[in-house]
Amino acid sequence: MPGFEFFGEEERKEVNDVLETGILMRYGFDGARKGHWKAKELEKAITEVFGAAYAQLTSSGTSALTTAMAALGIGAGDEVIMPSFTFVASFEAVLSVGAIPVLVDVDDTLTLDPAAVRAAITPRTKCIMPVHMCGSPADLDALQQLCKAHSLILLEDACQSIGARYKGKFLGTIGDAGTFSFDFVKTITCAEGGVVMTNKKEVYVKSDGYTDHGHDHQGVDRGADLHPFIGYNYRISELHAAVGLAQIRKLDTFLALQKKNCALLREQLAQVPEISFRRVPEGGEDSCTFLSWFLPTAEITAAVVEEMRAQQVMPGSFYWFVNNWHYIRKWDHLKQALALHAISDEQKNALTALNSASFAASDEIMSRCISTSISLLWTEQQVREKGEKIADAVRTVLAAHAQKA
């Protein structure tokens, strides 16, 4: 990761097709665009590559989640169960439709702990939203069973796991709907963009209208479209779609390189007995955007992070426990309900209650976890050198820790 590492003539060609017509909007101007419909082409490619029946492009992964929730009927007062380890966009989307984010612990998959989800279900729960973090799936069988037992929606946030699978199916195509992000640092990038995928026609039709001010897109003349419901402007542009169209054709190459480099790095780190690795649920296939690894204690992990910084091998590795974008421990703006506009009392009460909520199980896991991003451009020698430097940093800290003991 990410796909921008492989920008080339293919992306330039697709973008120039759009620039030569001057039609940057995905809808209308049929004659002037000279047959170029990049967004439509990319949506078709997404359904063909990933196996979803329908795909609706959006302006971002965040807007894709918001769109999916609206299309699935998730709204004011509904509870959405989500993990304590994710990107801030996940709870932003929940709040944007008036729903209430209910955060629960993750397990050693770095995704939703099914037992924690089960304990959090109430009569107001509408949706379970697994976030397939850092390239690997949640335990979807267990979560689907909970959804079936309680008549709940399963919405997959697969924004960080393009190309990962669960029991042969691509993540994002298994639940009632799923989303990808195509932002600048994702496996496939449009620079900015996202997609809602679904196998339900009704969800697709609603997503199609919702992303374009409620247009039904049934007429020949855009100005004559009807508006069966309120929508918003979450459209992707033809320029962004053009970049994604070139990128999706390279996906197999991206995934092969990620898996090769990830396996090499894991081989290096596995030489240190005290290092363990994230668990991939049975039937899951990691896309290998990251190698996520664990150390024995939080104290040792924090010391390793400092040693890696001192040896200048920390860039590209992430200690999520102290990261203010990805883990609840640092989401003060969420826990204090610091919105620029008034939010409902229900939302405000739920958010402020997070200040006293315990996420001890997540803390125990995340405080010992480091994730190292996998570059597509590494040579085998560079991977081995990086792995050896990280391993050396770990050994240095372990030796110092043993001396203290």
* Active site residue ranges: 186
CA 154, CA 25: separation in Å to the nearest integer? 32
- What single letter denotes the amino acid at residue 86? T
Complete edge-to-edge strand list for the sheet that includes strand 194-198: 54-58, 194-198, 177-181, 153-157, 125-128, 79-83, 100-104
Return all residues near 159 (Cβ < 8 A) that are at least 6 apart: 61, 64, 65, 87, 89, 131, 179, 180, 181, 186, 194
Q: Give phi and psi for 38, each to the nearest 5.
A: -65, -40
CA 18, CA 363: separation in Å to the nearest integer? 48
Q: Give phi and psi for 364, each to the nearest 5.
A: -60, -35
Give me the residues paired with residue 183 across strands: 191
Return all residues near 206 (Cβ < 8 A) that are at least 6 apart: 70, 71, 229
Please answer whether residues 91 and 338 qualify as being in contact, where contact means their C-beta atoms are separated by less than 8 angstroms. no
Alpha helices by DSSP H, listed for 229-297, are 238-248, 251-269
Q: Give phi and psi for 47, each to the nearest 5.
A: -65, -35
